[in-house]
Amino acid sequence: MADKRRIAATSGRVLTGVLGTAIFLGAALAVGQGELPVLAAAAPQTTVTPEASDQFRLCPGPLLRQGTDASAASFDQPAMTFAASSAPEQRALLAPDNVIGDRFGAPTVLSVTGSEAGERPQISAAQSQTADLDDLTGFAATACGEASAESWLVAGSTDVGRTTMLSLSNPSRADAVVDLSFFGETGAIQAPGAKGIIVPAGENRVLSVASFAPGVRTPVVQVQSAGGQVVAALQHSVTRGITPGGIELTLPTALPSRNQVLPGVVIDDTAPAPAGETYDDSISALRIFVPGSEQAQVNISFLSEQGSAAQPLNYSIQPGAVQEINLNELPAGSYSVVISSDMPLVASSRTTAVAGESSDFAWFGASAPLDDTIGLAVAPGEGATLHLANPTGSDLDVALTDGGGTATSVTVPAGASVAAPVSAGMAYSLSGVGGAHAQVTFNSDRGISAYAIQPTNPLATPVTVYPR
Amino acid sequence: MTASRARHSLDAMSPRVTAILVVHDGSGPAGPASLQGTLDALAAQSRQPDVVVAVACGAPAATTLVLEKGDIDRIVTSGERLHFGQALAAGIRVVGQPAGPDEFLWLLAQDTAPEPDALERLLGALEVAPSVAIAGPKLKDAADGSTIVSLGESVTRFGATVPLVEDELDQGQHDSVSDVLGVAPAGMLVRHTVWEQLGGFDPAFGSADDALDFCTRARLAGHRVTVVPSATVLTRSSGIAGPSRSNRPAARRKRARQTRGAQLYRRLVYAPAAVVWLHWLALLPLGILRGIRRVVGKQPGLVGSEIAAAFRVTFSLVRVMRARRNLQRSKQVGWSSLSALRIPAAEVHRRRRLRRDAGVAVYTVERSDLRFFTGGGAWLVLASALLGTALFFRLLAASGVEGGTLFPLSASVPDLWQNIGYGWRDIGLGFSGAADPFSALLAVLGTLTFWNPSYVLVLVTLLALPLATLGGWFAATRLTERSGYRLVAAVLWTVAPTFLSALGSGHVSGILVHLLLPWLFYTGCIAARSWGSAAVASMLLAATLASAPSLTPALLILWLVALAFSGRHLARVFWLIVPSAALFAPLVWQQGVVGQNWIHLLADPGVPLPSPSPTGWELVQGLPAGNPAWDAMTAALGLSGIPAHLLVPVLLTPLAVMALLALFLPGSSRAAVLLGTALLGLMTAAGASHLFLAVTGSSPVSIWPGSGLSLYWLGLVGASVVGFDSLRRAAAVPALVIGVLSLVVAVPIAASVATGNGQITASNGRTLPAYVAAAASVDPSLRTLILTPQPDGGISARIVSGVGDTLDNQSTLITTNPALTGDDKNVATLAGNLVSQGGPDPSAMVAEYGVQFVLLDSPPSLIGQDATSPAEEMANRAAVSLNANAVFAHVGPTDRGTLWRFEGETTPPAATGDVPFASTLVLGTLAIVFGFALLLAVPTAASRRAAEGRPRTIGRRPAEPAPRLTRAERAERNAAAEADRAVELALASESDEIDEREAHAAASNAERTGESAGNPNDAVERRPDALALSSTAESQDNHGR
C-alpha cells in the first residue's frame, strides 16, 4: 500500500517534471527564436516651415589692387547679373578700406522681400570683372553670397608674388565680431589680431591675409562671426616675376562634411605641366583640409563630362595641415570631383589656363546639394558653361529656362556630370535639380573663372521638430 | 405531565412558573432537532413549569408544527424576527399581570435545553431568598456538555462586559459562585413582578447585554441576582438568547458590533446626567480610534463594526432617554452598591495574562532560529557592501548621481509630495493630470534623505548590491532552512545579469524592482497567513508596480492564482492589490478610461532612455540589453562567432538544469509555482522588449525588459533553491558550482561597470547650466527651451521649468502621448523658427511662454550609432540661427550645451490655478489606504507570537529527521523547558491567590488547583491547531473590553 502510494507520488512528480521541463524549454525556445511584432510608437513630430523672410545676396564689389602701402583700391567696376522673383532692392555697403571710395562701386546688398502668399522669395546674383592692369590681369567671376556665421575659404596664397585679400561684408543689422583661423601646409597658424575683428553693420572690411599668415602657399581661412553675420570673399592674384598670372575672387566653399562635390572643374588644354619637383601653383591641384584631430581616409573620384575615364585616387590625409593633391595626371577636360572621407573636410580646386599673353587661374569650390528649383544668374563673361553633377542615385531631368522663357532640357544621369552652355549675363530658372551640384565656369582667351552655385539659404528650409 | 402541572397551578401558595420559549426559524444546527431537544428537556423537568408559552418569530410551518405537537400551552407567532427581549415581551403579554411575588418567568430559547433538575434548583434558589429576584443557571455548551459557556457576568470599571467564566471545562471549580452582577439571558428565572417593575429587557439591545442590563437595573432596584451553578442549561449559542458564538467572520463582525454598541448604549444610559453629552460627543472619535486599534491588532474586519456601533448609538438618543427615565423610575439604591460586583482592573489583567500564557503552549510547529549572523548571511551582506563600494567608488563623496534614467529629485520634500496624486503637473507648458505612481515611491524615498532628496539615489546606487544580497537571503529563508543554500541564493540574486546591467546603464526602475522583488516574495507568499504580511506585501507590490508597471500582467496573474488558492483568507490575499489599485487609479482613469490608451499604462515611468534591443536568446540568458561586457572580453581574447556567444549560456546552464530538476524532486509544487513565475517574467521581458511605448526626441523607447527578467531570475533562483532543499546535503556541490559559475558570468559585467563603462556618475544635482540654475533660484517659474538635434536631422524641443528635469516630475502621459497637442505645435513652431534664419521676431511667443533661456543640447548619441552628420548639421544650423537672432544673447558654452538668454521681458507663466477636487480626493484616498496598510503592518506582540507559531518556510516541509543537537544545545533546551514549567507554576499559584481573595464563598483547595491547571489545558483541547493562538487573542480582545 505504502509502495503503491510512493510509486504514484513518484510517477506524478516525473510527469510534472517532464511536463514542466517541456513547457519551460518550449517557452525559452519560443522567446529565443520567435519573432514578435514590434509595437513602436511613432515619435510625434511636426514639420515647421520657417516663416518666409527677406532674402539677401551680397555681391563682393569691385576687384581691389593692393598698393605698396598695403592699402586696397578699386580700379574698375564689376558687371552684375541677378535672377530674382521680384525686383530687388540694392544697397551699397560702406567700404572704408577702399581708398578710392565707391567710385567703382562697392559691395552691394540685393534684397527681395517675402511675398504675401508666404512663398519664399528667390534671388540669385553674380558679378564679373576683367582686370587688365600692368600687374593685375585676368577674369574673375563670382556669385553673390549669403551671410553666414561660419564659412571656410579654401583658396589664396601669400607666397612671394601672391596677393590674397580677405573681404568681410556685414549686410546684417548687428555688428559682427569675426574670428579668423588660418591654416597652412604646416598646420594651424598663430595669427595675432585675427580674433575679435569687428565688422560694423552695413560695412565692408578688407584685410590682407599676408598680414596674418605670411609666406603660406596653401592657406585655408575659417571665418566665424558672432552677432551679425558676414559674407567673406577672398581675392587671390598672382604675379610671377613681373608677369601677372591671373586673378580670382572666390566665395566660401561648402562647410566641412564627409562628402564634398566640386562640380565642373575645368582643366584647360593649355594648363601648364609640372616642371620638376618644386611646388608650382600653376599646376592643377585639389586643396584639402581636414579640421579636427583624426586622420582622414579620402577617396577622390572624377566624373568626366567628356566621357573619358579617370582613376579614382585614395589618400590618407593628416588632420590640421592643408594638403594639395596634384591633378596634372588628368587629361584636359572638365570633371566633377567627388570626395568621400571618413572625417569631415573642406576642399577646393585650382586650375590655370593661358589667357592671351599671360595666364589666369580659377578656384572651383565645393557646393552643397541644390533645392529642386533655383534661380541662376550667369555673370557677364565669355565661355560661360553650367556644370551639373548628380551624385544621387537617380537621373535628373533638368529644365533650364532662360529669361526669355525658352526652356532647354538637360538630362543628368545618376552618378554623372554634364556641361550645358549658358548665355553670359542671363538669368535662368532651373527646375528638377534637387540633389544636384552646380558650378558656372568661364573659360576663354580673356581668362578662366568659376563660381559654385550654393543652395538658397540652407538655414531656412523646413525643419522637423519633435516635441518630446 | 399535564396532571402534575395542574397540581402546581391548583396550589395557590406554591410558586407559579411560566416558561417563555422563544423560537426562531427551524433551520440550521439549532433547527427543529434542537427545538425538539428543548421541548423534550422541558417535558423531562422534575419541577414542571406551570405554563409554557412559545413565541415563534418568523418560524416556518415545520417549526410551528413541532411546537403544536409539543406540550405548549400558548403559542404566540410573529412574522418578524424579534430580538430575544422583544419576543419575551410578546410572550409575557399573553400571560397576564402577576398576582404575587411567587410568580416566575423562565426565559428559554429554542436551543437551550435545561437539565431535568434545572428549574427545580433555580426555583429553590429564589424561594429561599426573597431578596433574590433573578437566578441564572450554569450554561454549558450543548456540543460537548462539559464546557461552561456562561456562569454569571460582570463589567469592568469602564463598563465592558466580562463573563465571569468562559470556555472552561466544568470540573465543579466554579460551583461556589452565587451573587453576581448579571446572568446570561438563556435559562434565566426571574420574578414576574420584578420583570414588570423594571419593564423587561430594553428593546434597544440586540442579542448582547440585554440580560446584563436587566440584571443591573434589578440590582439598582434593590434586588439580588444570583447564579445557581447546580442548575444546568445546555445551549447551542445560535444567537437567539445571548450573542452567537459562531466563529464565522460575519458572525464575529456582528457580535463585535452588538457588543460594542451595547457597551456604548449602557454607558450613555448609566452615566450621570451631567456628563452624558460628553460621552455622546466622544462616541465617534472613540469609534475611529478603536477602529485604528483594530487595524493595528490585525482585525481589519472589525473596523466597520466599531464605527457602525458608534454611529448606531450616536443616533439612538431617543431610546437612551427612554432607558434613562426607566432606570430612574426603578432605581432604589446607588451605583456604589454595585462596586463590589464589578471586576477590578487587576483581575482583568490577570485573565488576559493567563489567556496569553495559555496560548503560548499551543505550538504545533517549531520555528527555527533565523541564523542571519551564525548562518553567514550578515558576512555575505558585508562582502557585498564592500563590492558595491568598489563598483561605485566614484560615488562615495557624491551628493547626487546622474546617468541613464537617474535624474535629480526635487530639491525639497514638500515639492516631492506635490508631484504625487492628481493635479497640476509642471511639465512642458504644464497640464492638469495624474502623476505616475512612481512619483509617490520617489517621494517616500526622497523623504528618507530629507536634507537632500536626491541623495537617496546615491544611497540606492551605493547600497544596491548589499540590499539585493539582504533581500535575496531573506527571500531564500522562505524556501530553505539550510544556511548554505540561503547564501547561494543571495549570491545568485545579487549577481543577476539583469541587475548588474541595470546598475551599469543606470535604469533606476530596474534597480528598484530588483531590490523590491525579494521582499515582495518574502512577505507576499505568506500573505494568507497574517494581516501583517499581507499589508507589507501590498505596499511592496504597489512600490514594485510603480517602478515597473510592465510587471502588472505577470503579478496580476500570480495574484489571481493566489486568490484562487487563498481559501478562507480571501480577504488578506485580496487586500494585496488594494494599495496598488488606489495608487494607479488616477492614471488608469486618465490614460485608460478617458484616453483609451490602456497599453500605455505599461510604459516605464521616469525619463525614457533608449537602450539596445536584446535578442530573444539574450533575454533567456537574463540579459536585458545585450552583453557588451562579454562581447568586449571575448573580442579581446580573440574569440568570435558561435563560441563567444555560447560562453554565457553554458555557464548559466547548471542553474536552469537545477531549477528544472526541482520539478522531479519531492516538494515539486513549490518549484512548479516558481518556474511558472519565471516563465511569466520571461514573457514580460519578451513583450517589453517589443513594446516601444515612450518616445524621446525622434526615437521610440522600449520598456526596460530587465524588470521582467528580475522576475524571471527570481523564479529560476527560487526553483533552484527548492531543488537544493529537496536534495538536502547532496546538493552542496552543485549549489557551490552554480554559485561560482554565476559569479564568473557576473565578473566581466561588474568590471565594466566599475571601469567606467557604467553610465551612473556623480552629479552636481543640476540638469541645466549653473547660469540657469542661479536664475531659477531667484525666479523658479522661469522656463528654458531645450533644443536637441536628432540623428535624422530634426530637432527636439522641450520646455522645462525652473531648475529643469527632475526624476519625480516626469509623466508617462507625456512620454507616451502619440498626438501633438496645441502646446506641442506652438512650441514646435517657436523652435522651428528659432533654428532657422530670418523669420519673424519670436519675442512675443518667447515672452508669452516665459522662456528665458534656450539651451542647445549636444546631439544625443544613440547606442551603436555615431552622432551622424545630420544631427551635427542641425546643431550648427541652430547655433548659427540663434547667434544671429537679435533677441537672444549668446551666454556661451556650458557643461550642458550652448546657452542663449532671452533679452526681452517675459510674462511669468500663469499660476497653477486652484487645487481641483479630484486632487484632494486622490490624496485622501491614498492617505486612507496606505494609512490602513501601515497600521495593519505594524507588528504587535500578538502578531509576532502568531508568526512564531508558523514555520519560516512555505509550502511542503520536507520530512527531515529531527535536527541533531549537540550536547550543549540539548542541555539548553532542557533548561528552557524547565524554566517554562517554573513560570507556569508560579503563575498558577499567583492566580490561586487572586482567586482566593475574590471568591465569594470558600471552596476546597483541590478545586482551585483544578481551575488554574484547567485554563491552558482547556485551550489545548478545544483548539488543537496552530491558529488557536490568534483566535484566542481575538476572543480575548472581544471580551476584555
How does DSSP assign B548-600, residue by residue? -GGGHHHHHHHHHHHHHT-GGGHHHHHHTTHHHHHHHHHHIIIIIIIT--GGG
Least confident residue range of A23-27, B222-226, B895-899: B895-899
Of the two residues B863 and B409, the one the predictor is more confident about is B409
Which ipTM was obtained for this model? Answer: 0.76
Q: What is the percent of chain A where pLDDT is above 90? A: 44
DSSP string covering B665-717, please? STTHHHHHHHHHHHHHHHHHHHHHTTEEEEEETTEEEE--THHHHHHHHHHHH
User: In angstroms, how far is the first alpha carbon of chain A from the final one?
Assistant: 71
Residues 424-463 of A with CB under 8 A from B: 457-463
Distance CA B260, CA B735 (A): 57
How high is the mean pLDDT of chain B?
Answer: 84
Distance CA A138, CA A352 (A): 11
Taking residues A183-207, report their average pLDDT.
91
Cβ <8 Å between B883 and A465: no
Q: Flag whether pLDDT at B961 surpasses 50.
A: no
- Distance (Å) from the alpha carbon of B657 to chain A's nearest alpha carbon: 9
Residues 117-176 of A with CB under 8 A from B: 148-150, 172-174
**CB < 8 Å to B815, chain A:** 468
Least confident residue range of A74-78, B221-225, B443-447, B758-762: B758-762
Distance CA A209, CA A164 (A): 6
Residue A292: per-residue pLDDT: 81
Q: Flag whether pLDDT at B949 surpasses 80.
A: no
Distance CA B72, CA B36 (A): 12
Longest C-alpha distance within chain B, in Å? Answer: 125
Mutual orientation of helices B437-448 and B578-587 as an angle, nearest 10°? Answer: 120
**CB < 8 Å to A201, chain B:** none
Q: Flag whether pLDDT at B968 surpasses 60.
A: no
Cβ <8 Å between B664 and A457: no
Residue A67: per-residue pLDDT: 82
Closest-CA residue in chain B for A12?
Answer: B664
Distance CA B485, CA B747 (A): 21
Domains of chain B, residue spans = 2-242, 379-397+485-507+612-763, 770-902, 967-1025
Distance of CA A335 to the CA centre of its chain: 16
Backbone angles phi, psi at A175, to 5 degrees: -60, 145
Residue B9: per-residue pLDDT: 44
Closest-CA residue in chain B for A229?
Answer: B884
Q: Flag whether pLDDT at A134 surpasses 90.
A: no
Cβ <8 Å between A149 and B883: yes
Taking residues A242-252, report their average pLDDT.
91
Of the two residues B578 and A271, the one the predictor is more confident about is B578
Closest-CA residue in chain A for B683?
Answer: A31
- Distance (Å) from the alpha carbon of B875 to chain A's nearest alpha carbon: 11
Cβ <8 Å between B837 and A50: yes
Q: Report residue B936 as a C-alpha cell.
A: 495593519
Q: Flag whether pLDDT at B813 surpasses 70.
A: yes
Q: Specify the amino acid at residue B916.
A: P
**CB < 8 Å to B875, chain A:** none
Least confident residue range of B404-408, B628-632, B783-787, B995-999: B995-999
B695 touches chain A (CB under 8 A): yes
Domains of chain A, residue spans = 51-456
Q: How buried is residue B993: exposed, middle or buried, by Cβ count under 10 Å (0-12/13-18/19+)? A: exposed
Cβ <8 Å between B698 and A45: yes
A255 touches chain B (CB under 8 A): yes
Distance CA B487, CA B482 (A): 9
Distance CA B922, CA A116 (A): 53
Distance CA B115, CA B146 (A): 13
- Distance (Å) from the alpha carbon of A152 to chain B's nearest alpha carbon: 14
Q: Where residue B866 falls among pLDDT bands split at 50, 70, 90?
A: very low
For B381, residues 6+ apart whose C-beta sits below 8 A from its C-beta are B466, B469, B470, B473, B490
pLDDT tens figures, A14-25: 888 899 999 999
Q: Specify the amino acid at residue B721.
A: V
Q: Flag whether pLDDT at B1041 surpasses 50.
A: no
- Determine which of A7, A14, A31 to mutate to test the interface with B (most B C-beta atoms within 10 Å): A31
Residues 178-237 of A with CB under 8 A from B: 226-229
DSSP string covering B523-541, please? HHTTTTT-HHHHHHHHHHH
Q: Where residue B874 falls among pLDDT bands split at 50, 70, 90?
A: confident
Taking residues B459-466, report their average pLDDT.
94
Q: Where residue B354 falls among pLDDT bands split at 50, 70, 90?
A: confident
Taking residues A139-159, report their average pLDDT.
91
DSSP string covering A201-231, please? TTEEEEEEHHHHSTT-SS-EEEEEEEES-BE
H or E element at residue B314:
helix B303-314
Q: Where residue B913 falls among pLDDT bands split at 50, 70, 90?
A: low
Residue B876: per-residue pLDDT: 78
**CB < 8 Å to B862, chain A:** none
Q: Flag whether pLDDT at B97 surpasses 90.
A: no
For B982, residues 6+ apart whose C-beta sits below 8 A from its C-beta are none
Cβ <8 Å between B876 and A255: yes
Q: Flag whether pLDDT at B357 surpasses 80.
A: no
Which residue from A31, A45, A53 is facing B794, i.e. has the nearest CB?
A: A45
Q: Does residue B153 sit in helix, strand or coil?
A: strand
Cβ <8 Å between B692 and A54: no
- Give the highest mean pLDDT range of B46-55, B552-561, B952-961: B552-561
Q: Flag whether pLDDT at A139 surpasses 90.
A: yes
Q: Flag whether pLDDT at A237 surpasses 80.
A: yes
A407 touches chain B (CB under 8 A): no
Cβ <8 Å between A42 and B818: yes
Residues 318-377 of A with CB under 8 A from B: 344
Taking residues A447-455, report their average pLDDT.
91
Q: Flag whether pLDDT at A219 surpasses 90.
A: yes
Which residue in the block uniquely carries the three cell numbers 433574590? B132
Taking residues A130-134, report their average pLDDT.
88
Q: How many residues does chain B have?
A: 1041
Taking residues A288-316, report their average pLDDT.
89
Which residue in the block uniquely carries the three cell numbers 525622434? B698
Residues 596-625 of B with CB under 8 A from A: 599, 615-617, 619-620
DSSP for residue B137: E
Distance CA B715, CA B718 (A): 5
pLDDT tens figures, A29-82: 998 888 888 888 888 888 888 776 678 889 999 999 888 777 888 888 899 888
Cβ <8 Å between A50 and B886: no
Which residue from B698, B831, B881 is facing A43, i.e. has the nearest CB?
A: B698
- Distance (Å) from the alpha carbon of A32 to chain B's nearest alpha carbon: 4
A7 touches chain B (CB under 8 A): no
Closest-CA residue in chain A for B667?
Answer: A13
Distance CA A301, CA A325 (A): 13
Q: What is the percent of chain B where pLDDT is above 70? A: 87
Residue B964: per-residue pLDDT: 46
Q: Label residue B412 left, alpha or beta by phi (over 0 means left) and psi (-120 to 50 means alpha).
A: beta
Q: In 3D, which of B168, B247, B364 has the Cα closest to residue B1017? A: B168
Q: In 3D, which of B489, B415, B505 has the Cα closest to residue B452? A: B415
Q: How would you classify the pairing of strands B691-696 and A231-240?
A: unpaired
Cβ <8 Å between A48 and B815: no
Q: What is the percent of chain B where pLDDT is above 90? A: 40
Of the two residues B1000 and B707, the one the predictor is more confident about is B707
Taking residues B327-334, report their average pLDDT.
90
Least confident residue range of A129-133, B331-335, B822-826, B866-870: B866-870
Q: Does residue B953 sit in helix, strand or coil?
A: coil
Residues 278-337 of B with CB under 8 A from A: none
Residue B1039: per-residue pLDDT: 42
Rounded to 10 degrees, the C-alpha dihedral B23/B28/B30/B32 comes to: 70
Residue B881: per-residue pLDDT: 81
* CA dist list (Å): B667 to A17, A224, A312, B953, B1003: 11, 76, 74, 12, 56
Residue B441: per-residue pLDDT: 95
Q: Flag whether pLDDT at B89 surpasses 70.
A: yes
Least confident residue range of A74-83, B3-12, B63-72: B3-12
User: In angstroms, how far is the first alpha carbon of chain B from the final one?
Assistant: 46
What ranges make up the beta strands (E) of A305-459?
313-317, 323-326, 333-355, 358-365, 373-377, 384-390, 396-402, 407-412, 416-421, 427-431, 437-444, 447-453
Q: How buried is residue A16: exposed, middle or buried, by Cβ count under 10 Å (0-12/13-18/19+)? A: middle
Closest-CA residue in chain B for A55?
Answer: B838
Cβ <8 Å between A37 and B692: no
Which residue from A27, A46, A468 is facing B679, i.e. has the nearest CB?
A: A27
Taking residues B24-45, report their average pLDDT.
75
Rounded to 10 degrees, the C-alpha dihedral B563/B566/B572/B576 comes to: -30
Residues 8-27 of A with CB under 8 A from B: 13-14, 16-17, 20-21, 23-24, 27
A31 touches chain B (CB under 8 A): yes
Residue B279: per-residue pLDDT: 92
**CB < 8 Å to A112, chain B:** none
Which residue from B668, B682, B827 is facing A467, i.e. has the nearest CB?
A: B827
Of the two residues A68 and A240, the one the predictor is more confident about is A240
pLDDT tens figures, B259-268: 999 999 999 9
Closest-CA residue in chain B for A461?
Answer: B836
Taking residues B24-52, report their average pLDDT.
78
Least confident residue range of B457-466, B754-763, B837-846: B837-846
> In DSSP terms, which residues pair with A408 in a beta bridge?
A400
Q: In 3D, which of B493, B583, B602, B588 has the Cα closest to residue B538? A: B583
Of the two residues B71 and B719, the one the predictor is more confident about is B719
pLDDT tens figures, B369-382: 888 999 899 999 99
- Distance (Å) from the alpha carbon of A456 to chain B's nearest alpha carbon: 12
Q: How many residues does chain A have?
A: 468
Longest C-alpha distance within chain A, in Å? Answer: 127
Residues 878-917 of B with CB under 8 A from A: 879-881, 883-884, 886, 890
Backbone angles phi, psi at B241, to 5 degrees: -105, 115
Q: Flag whether pLDDT at B323 surpasses 90.
A: yes
Residue B650: per-residue pLDDT: 92
- Distance (Å) from the alpha carbon of B620 to chain A's nearest alpha carbon: 6
Cβ <8 Å between B616 and A32: yes
Least confident residue range of B461-465, B542-546, B937-941: B937-941
Taking residues B507-527, report their average pLDDT.
94
Q: Does residue B972 sit in helix, strand or coil?
A: helix
Q: Report residue B889 as a C-alpha cell.
A: 544673447
Least confident residue range of A107-121, A280-294, B223-237, B938-952: A107-121
DSSP for residue B626: B
DSSP string covering B806-856, please? -TTS--HHHHT--SPPHHHHHHHHHHHHHTSSS-S-THHHHHHTTEEEEEE
The CATH number of B2-242 is 3.90.550.10
C-beta separation of B182 from B262 below 8 A: no
Cβ <8 Å between B839 and A463: no
Closest-CA residue in chain B for A120?
Answer: B839
Distance CA B250, CA B240 (A): 16
For B386, residues 6+ apart whose C-beta sits below 8 A from its C-beta are none
Distance CA B1000, CA B714 (A): 64
B427 touches chain A (CB under 8 A): no
DSSP for residue B182: B
Q: What is the pTM of this model?
A: 0.79
Q: Where residue A155 falls among pLDDT bands split at 50, 70, 90?
A: very high
Q: In 3D, which of B867, B874, B878 has the Cα closest to residue B900? A: B878
Residue B985: per-residue pLDDT: 60
**CB < 8 Å to A44, chain B:** 695, 817-820, 824
Distance CA B241, CA B327 (A): 23
How high is the mean pLDDT of chain A?
Answer: 88
A256: number of Cβ within 10 Å = 22
Q: In 3D, which of B194, B185, B197, B262 has the Cα closest to residue B227? A: B185
**CB < 8 Å to B849, chain A:** none
